[in-house]
Amino acid sequence: MPDRILIHDLEVLFHIGVPDTERARPQRLSLTLELHLDLSAAAAADDLERTVDYHAVSLWVRSLGEGRQWKLIETLAVEIAEGARTRFGVPSVTVEVKKFILPHARHVSVRVQRPAGQAP
């Protein structure tokens, strides 16, 4: 499916990290979501109801961090990918989570894909 909605570098502050001390304070993460879906009906009708509301997706993703914490960015990426599919009906999704933790690297990232047909 060639159509997609992309949310690039959505910044969030989440409690994440393996040691307790790392999770004690929120860390800046950058999230990129690729929502793969057929956009032809939405474009033809110029109708938000026939597509995925990317604003609603971004609000949902940002709300995930409220009162939550994760040890691994892998876990967070999978949770976002599966949630995008189940909550918003996105057939296929790719999520990248960037973490700014290594002093001599721009970032560390994890990218997960959940293709259409794969159980969430």
51 Cβ partners below 8 Å, 6+ apart? 5, 37, 39, 41, 42
Collect all residues with Cβ–Cβ distance below 8 Å to 22 and sequence separation of at least 6.
16
pLDDT at residue 1 greater than cutoff 70: no
CATH numeric code, 4-114: 3.30.1130.10
pLDDT surpassing 60 at residue 89:
yes
Mean pLDDT value across residues 83-100: 97
pLDDT at 117: 75
Indicate whether 58 pLDDT > 70.
yes
Query: What are the sequence ranges of the domains in the chain?
Result: 4-114
